[in-house]
Structure 1
């Protein structure tokens, strides 16, 4: 705030004086700026807590399903499959039925491979192109424009009929090698039009497993690949070796369900920790967070704690599920206790833990809803306040600028007036000194 009229006549530091006056004048604007900073800090805190609630919502949905009015589903239909064989892989998905299946792996899937020895003295084709039939379907005619080994291979590959061709140099001479694009009998093929008819070196075959004795109620299952689906409900089997007596067992995945419960507990602790981070008063520094006196976040904290402390009607304390509140207001989870309770009474644990998940989801949805969620509304309200405060700050900028200009003008006028008075004083002094002496 430079006035440019520092006391040339008066000797006053008018720049510093104007600055002090303007500091006093701008006190109301500074209060508005402080309020903007405070509200922006609260907005950031709300947004951070909202993010933690979204994480809790995701975890609760994993436990309860998407519809809070329905019973928990996929989380409690989780299953795991184990195999007695290192060459049989079993993968279970939600809804797999517990049980054991023993079977023999009779055969692995194979892709047909045929070869045709190239006669260096003559053409590869009979001159009319090739006719390729895959899986007993309709023959596809392949035009061969360059009747050379590479020309024939290129023509087959460009046709994209389910057969791949390559030229191989062997001890028996140059060979046109033909490979089925897929394993299984459906990928088997025939090729007509080659001067040397191809010989099948590897026969196309479906993989096959046998369950029990087919002559006594057992059965066989075939697959074009080494993967079998449907032998066990919602279980996929993948085999890689012929063997007998392989067994696959499907059980409820108590560990997996416990993992989902752990994720929900962790997410709730994340919410509680984030609220504490912004709403706690620090007695050491004697400062409070941006939400220290905020009733909204304090109420949300109490809702979460009450959901845990109240337990479940008909079941009792959630401690039976391994979920408790410690003295510091943090949730703890005992996985061993949860698994033990689930194995003892799956239905009761499913109902109780599912009810807790539905309750948590209900709270989180009301908080985070993008239209009318409580945190959403709080963020919007504070944002509107900041916008109004910034408008008022801008109005003060105009007002203070005008006030500073007025002060600079006043002090400039003062210096000018003092300058004129000094000139008059000097003139009078000169006149008096020029008067004749009384002697």
Structure 2
């Protein structure tokens, strides 16, 4: 007799397991559709997130030009300056706030650290009392030395372990002498040092020194500027000078830097084009392949595209077209930037161009980007949140279907198991009946006639 739990088709000859699997595929079609919707929503979310990054980049590029006060732009971009030097041994770097102008000077000295040596006269103790004092400025550091290691190397190890701004090393000269060498880790006269407590005398081979720049003749109203390093930040306001050679007749000039402003304008245009290209990639339908991006027909994407294009083409009331400083739309709906036109316009009237950019193109783009990326009210933010909510709902429905499908599968297995059992019973009854019929006596026979 077939077990009621069997679904292998032993009686019917059917592959009941396969039949159940096929039926379950049909039963699971609604859940499969839900899973497909989750995949589609995830693609949409990824597209929104990528577009959000593009819009954030556009906002950053735009805010490089926008100003707190629309009437008096104070953004550092508009104060860009560039410093140049007449000498390759002097580099000059200007930052916001540097005053346009120039200055001539001589590099009369470079900074250096102190170098002192002690010639070890005998293998006896190097220190007089197993210790030495090193004084840097007004600070004295007392360094003890292990009596068992009161040698040149032992003293060097103790000094290096103290880490006080002086290092020590043992040097063997070409004549075989042992020299204990002390070197300051910092340059400048303030970092000079003195040493006491050594058995042998110390020789200052190189004194600590400041770098010096001389402007004019100090005896006739000129002056000297010093630095403990070869870097000067106190000669010209917001200008850093680095010197590497003693030299006379060096000139440093500080001038406005419209090229750096033009670079940021190019970055602004590139960011806008990047956002437009991203929208196009995700919202274009390919009629040949009959497929499209995840944002085909999406209102949020279309609205952003429209806003960017309209802001670029509209211009600024009271100013006019942005073409005046080199920005315009071409026939393909892409922004172009004419660098030469911008530099000419900026040179002719910097204030006018600042107004057109800061209060026009850049502000318009910054507003569009902020309206899309704001962490609470941004159109892309709410679109992403909405899509995430849909995915969550779909996943909950998929989970519900897991339970329903499990119950349906068990029911089908029971039904097929019952069928096999019923067929088994019928087969057994048929076999018994056939046996009974075969065991019945034969009633037929032959007849004869008598004479």
Deviating more after overlay: 292-301 vs 250-259: 250-259
What secondary structure, in the 3-state scheme, does the structure 2 residue paired with 1:90 have? strand
Out of 152, 157, 160, the residue aligned to residue 157 of structure 1 is 160
2: distance between equivalents of 1:358 and 1:76? Answer: 15
User: Following the alignment from structure 2 to structure 1, what is the Cα–Cα distance between the partners of residues 16 and 106?
Assistant: 102
Match of 1:297 among 285, 296, 301: 301
Kept after mapping to 2: 8 A contact 1:63/1:72? no
Whole-Å separation in 2 of the counterparts to 1:140 and 1:27:
83
How big is the shift at 1:245? Answer: 0.7
Q: Which of 300, 316, 319 lines up with 1:312 in the alignment?
A: 316
| Cα-to-partner distance string for 1:368-408 (whole Å, 9 max, x where unaligned) | 23333221221121111122122222323333343344445
* Alpha-carbon shift at residue 228 of structure 1 (Å): 0.7
Alpha-carbon contact 2:83-2:253 (below 8 Å) kept: yes
- Per-residue deviation at 1:238? 1.0
Question: 1:176 — aligned with what?
Answer: 180
Q: Name the CA shift for 1:310/1:49 in 2 (closer, same or farther; >3 Å).
A: same
Aligned to 1:275: 279
Provide the C-alpha distance between the structure 2 equivalents of 1:69 and 1:47, rounded to a whole number of angstroms.
35
Cα gap change, 1:69 to 1:391, in 2 (>3 Å): farther
Aligned with 2:65: secondary structure?
helix
Q: Give yes or no for contact 1:26–1:400 (8 Å, CA) kept in 2.
A: yes
Provide the residue aligned with 2:194 in structure 1: 190
Gaps of 5+ in 2: 447-451
Per-residue CA deviation, residues 267-325 of structure 1 (Å, 9 max, x unaligned), is 22221111111111111112222211211111111111112111223322222222222
Select between 423-432 and 45-54 the one with higher mean Cα deviation: 423-432
Per-residue deviation at 1:83?
0.8
- Structure 1 distance, partners of 2:333, 2:133, is 77
Give the conservation status (yes or no) of the 8 Å contact 2:159–2:167.
yes
Report what 1:248 is aligned to.
252
TM-score, length-scaled by structure 1: 0.86
* Residues 199, 20 of structure 1: alpha-carbon distance in 2 compared, 3 angstrom cutoff: closer
**Residue 449 of structure 2 corresponds to which residue in structure 1?**
none
CA distance in 2, matches of 1:407, 1:349: 77
Aligned twin of 1:114: 116
| Correspondence for 1:47 | 49
1:378 aligned onto 2:383: yes
User: How is 1:308-347 mapped onto 2 (pairs within 5 angstroms)?
Assistant: 308-347=312-351
* Equivalent in the alignment of 1:38: 40
- Look up the SS of the partner of 2:64 in the other structure: helix
Q: Evaluate the alpha carbon distance shift between residue 418 and residue 129 of structure 1 in structure 2; reply closer, same or farther with a 3 A threshold.
A: closer
> Do 2:128 and 2:199's aligned partners in 1 also have CA atoms closer than 8 Å?
yes
TM-aligned CA distance change 1:83 to 1:411, over 3 Å: same
Deviation at 1:85, TM superposition (A): 0.4
Correspondence 1:402 to 2:407: yes
SS at match of 2:102: strand
- Aligned pair count? 436
Residue number in structure 1 paired with 2:85: 83
RMSD, aligned CA: 3.3
Matches within 5 A, 1:229-240: 229-240=233-244
Runs of 5+ consecutive residues of structure 1 not aligned to the other structure: none
Contact 1:365 1:373 in 2 (8 A): yes
> Within 1, Cα distance between the matches of 2:111 and 2:307?
58
Distance 1:67 1:406, change over 3 A: farther
- Contact 2:315 2:321 (8 Å CA) reproduced: yes
- So what's the TM-score if we normalise by structure 2? 0.84
- Partners of 1:39 and 1:404 lie apart in 2 by 29
Q: Deviations over 1:77-130 (max 9, x none)?
A: 222211110111111122222211111111111222222322227654444743
Give CA-to-partner distance per residue, 1:296-355, whole Å, 9 cap, x none: 111111111112111223322222222222222222222222222222222222232223
Does the 8 Å contact 2:130/2:150 carry over to 1?
A: no
State the distance in 2 between where 1:33 and 1:116 align.
82
Distance in structure 2 (CA, Å) of the matches to 1:303 and 1:343: 30
- 1:23 to partner: Cα distance: 5.0
Counterpart of 1:143? 144
Verify the 8 A CA contact 1:29 1:393 in the aligned structure 2. yes
